[in-house]
Amino acid sequence: MAEIKCTELCKTYRQGEAEVRALDHVTLEIEPGSFICLSGPSGSGKTTLLNAIGGLDDLDSGEVAIDGDRVDLLGKGDLADLRLHHIGFVFQAYILIPVLSASENVEFVMQVQGVSAGERRKKAMAILKEVGLEGMEHRRPAELSGGQQQRVAVARAIVSQPKLVLADEPTANLDSTSAKQLMELFRELNEHHGVTFLISTHDERVMRYAKRLVRMQDGKVIADEDQAGSRG
């Protein structure tokens, strides 16, 4: 499980002559085991906030801490180690390696981590079964549907048992059935494995699954509300 504290986060981009404040003094605390959706229109700061927490984007000012460790102060090597071992990323684009099978895509992260070949294969097969892809382990991405490819991406993100999963618009390229299945999978992983989920979305169907909904606009948090009994 992961406890996250974001304090007074600021980030500004330049677009031509214009200056865009992607994050405007954002302060947010996330308890271990949370299941949170960040909602808001495009340009509201959702993705920038995810990137800041995951150490993918530098901040102008502010602090990000995961379990007491300051992410914003880590060097490149320590950041890479944090992302490799403790954070799972799920993106709108599945970013699978086309020449590798589903199991090989899942194994790739573990190979970088130095896990033995036998252990990699065992874990990959088990996690693909858990995400509903048993029997499809040897198919390449082009032989899988969009929903199945996203499940491979999820399996890759969680196979190393990260304490935090950051998902950026994970249902954007999925039909309604695949989107529902993906969110049910996320909730199951959250409830049964204690993984903390932070999901950016502007999809109302996804928001209904959130235990807590944080709304953003113009780089600011404009609402933060618990959703008791949430489910899609």
pLDDT digits (tens, 9 = 90+) for 209-222: 999 999 999 999 99
Mean pLDDT of 142-169: 89
Model confidence at 93, pLDDT cuts 50, 70, 90, reads confident
Sheet of strand 35-39, all strands in order from the earlier edge strand to the far edge: 87-90, 164-168, 196-201, 35-39, 212-217, 220-226
pLDDT value at residue 171: 85
- What are the structural domain ranges in the chain? 92-144
Helix (H), strand (E) at residue 105: helix 102-113
Lowest-pLDDT range, 99-108, 169-178, 217-226?
Answer: 169-178
Predicted pLDDT of residue 1: 62
CA dist 113 to 1, 116, 156, Å? 20, 9, 13
User: CA 111, CA 176: separation in Å to the nearest integer?
Assistant: 34
Distance CA 107, CA 160 (A): 10
Residue carrying the six token digits 């340009």: 43
Complete DSSP assignment for 145-176: -HHHHHHHHHHHHHTT--SEEEEESTTTTS-H
118 by Cβ neighbours in 10 Å (0-12 / 13-18 / 19+) ranks as: exposed
Geometric angle at alpha carbon 36, from 34 and 40, rounded to 5°: 165
CB 182 within 8 A of CB 174: yes
Task: Please give the pLDDT value at position 83.
Answer: 85
In which band, very low, low, confident or very high, does the pLDDT at 128 lie, cut at 50, 70 and 90?
A: very high
From the list 33, 34, 159, the residue with the least C-alpha distance to 90 is: 159
CA–CA distance, 179 with 2 (Å, rounded to integer) = 25
User: Pairing relation of β-strands 164-168 and 196-201?
Assistant: parallel
Reply yes or no on whether the pLDDT at 170 is more than 70: yes
CA atoms within 13 A on the CB side of 185: 27
Instruction: Give the pLDDT band of residue 230 (cuts 50, 70, 90).
Output: low
Of the chain, the percentage scoring pLDDT greater than 90 comes to: 52
Name which of 163, 161, 160 is nearest 3 in CA terms: 163
Contact 9, 26 (CB under 8 A): yes
Does residue 106 register a pLDDT over 90? yes
Q: Report residue 214 as tokens.
A: 């944080």
